Structure 1
Amino acid sequence: MLLNGYVRVLPKEVSPENVVREGPVAFLKLSLGEVEVKTRKLCTIGFVTSIQRGSTYTDITLALESGQVTVRVWDTQGVGDLLEGLKKDSKVLVFGVLREYREQIYISAVLLRAVTEEEISKFKRKLFADRKILLNIAKKQ
């Protein structure tokens, strides 16, 4: 099932074994029981473990539990101002699009905001509730 909406994912789920390519486009594939869901639009949350500034972008490594993901913030996207005050151990929520360039998988950020520890717990609860809803929808199709 292909979804055209933001799907909550954990950083560890954005991994090479969960990425499928269709031509130049990369999708994240999630297995929900006997149903597979594909999406490019992702929402994730975690702690900043590193910040690396490039000439036209900034890469942020976001980690939660046993996984991590690279989030790329392009200077031209209008989200660069959101990087002010961002530092190691900041808690962040990210909305973005899955991208792959030269075999590097990352989320190209559309929205980035600071969150609290409580919001991280709420995110995880909602993630599991979302998965149950998606599974029920897929079964009805």
Structure 2
Amino acid sequence: MFFYRSQGVMKRHGFSGGPASHGTSLAHRAGGSTGQRDAPGKVFKGRKMAGRMGGKQCTVKNVWVYKIDPARNMMWVRGQVPGAEGNFVFIKDAVYRKPENSLLPFPTYFAPEGEETQELEPLIADLGDVDPFMAAD
């Protein structure tokens, strides 16, 4: 079961907050004004307010797949992996140009007919001397 917490505008949207002195009472972390007066007499859509955080899908780029073990159906990656333990992670090929030194099969390894999966060895990518994602040029 997931529990989502409601957060204020300072944590959720990075607002700076009000002054801590000079007559300010109970409004140090408040969001400020939310709209106008009589005209138009409403709060416009998209106004940044306090509310629930979390529970959204996020995409992480520049994750390096450096080992695939088809016998155990495992994949080792270097980089950020979003989500909690036990959640599903979707991995897809990069849209931008990939480095040429990666020899791993993508999207996964399919064993040919009649070949045993227990005899397969893990595939390890040759990372080389320079990380292609961290290179300046």
TM, length-normalised to structure 2 = 0.27
Relative contact order higher in (CA < 8 Å, ≥ 6 apart): 1
Larger Rg computed on CA atoms: 2
Q: What TM-score do the two structures reach when normalised by structure 1?
A: 0.26
Higher relative strand content: 1
Q: Which has the higher helix share?
A: 1
